[in-house]
Amino acid sequence: MNQPLSTVNPAQVFDLSAQEQRRKVLRNTYWLLALSLLPTVLGAWLGVATGITQMLHGGLGLIVFMAGAFGFMFAIEKTKHSAAGIAVLLAFTFFMGLMLSGLIGMVLGFRNGVSLITTAFAGTAGVFVVMATLASVIKRDLSGLAQWLFVGVLVLLVGSVVNLFVGSTAGMLAISVAAIGLFSVYMLYDLKQIIDGGETNYISATLALYLDLFNVFQSLLALLGIFGGERD
């Protein structure tokens, strides 16, 4: 027998609706995140095949990367409530693939380069699975981490810029290890935001998770290249 309308608790109805909305955002985020990997692979392949990014070294490479990345992120923020936001996001992931092609090309120069890239990809996927699992079981509100994580990113960015000109292998090692830890925690934070309803736009959610994954993968690949690269 159906429950009389007079006994339906509006709070329960609202809670069920909110839960369904959160599940929808999470589902759409996962689909768009998977789709965003295709332009990234295409951009990386094009960059390696043409060598188009080989001229971007030192300060010039940093300027192009920062201008392109922040320009795209600004455009995504402005278009995230429309279908155009998806197109801008995918264009951004293509650009990020191009920017990643220099590192990938260097790693492919090793005898075991393909194996290193596969290992970095598997490691990144593993980190994502672990963080997604933790986000689904942790009941504590993690929103307080936002400020600390942002400060960590600023410190990491400054260190990366300094090391770009210093060219220290030890510095690159330290930055890569710190980036893996920092963006793994950021991944947990961003996933928890979606699950708890703190992030309601799946395009913004996809952008955040994509940046987390990109930085973990890039740092893992750099570490593997330093320690595991086999020259002919």
Q: How far apart are CA 179 and CA 152, in angstroms?
A: 9
Of the candidates 89, 54, 43, the one whose C-alpha atom is nearest the C-alpha of residue 210 is 89
Task: From first to last of the 232 residues of the chain, give the pLDDT tens digit.
Answer: 455 545 555 555 545 577 888 889 999 999 999 999 999 999 999 999 988 877 776 667 778 888 999 999 999 999 999 999 999 999 999 999 999 998 999 999 888 989 999 999 999 999 999 999 999 999 888 888 888 999 999 999 898 888 878 877 888 899 999 999 999 999 999 999 999 988 899 999 999 999 999 999 999 999 998 887 777 6
- Tokens standing for 206? 């996809």
Instruction: List the beta strands (DSSP E) in the chain.
Output: none
The one-letter amino acid code at 209 reads L
The one-letter amino acid code at 16 reads L
**Contact yes or no for 179/156 (Cβ under 8 A):** yes
Question: Which DSSP state fits 198?
Answer: S
pTM of the model: 0.88
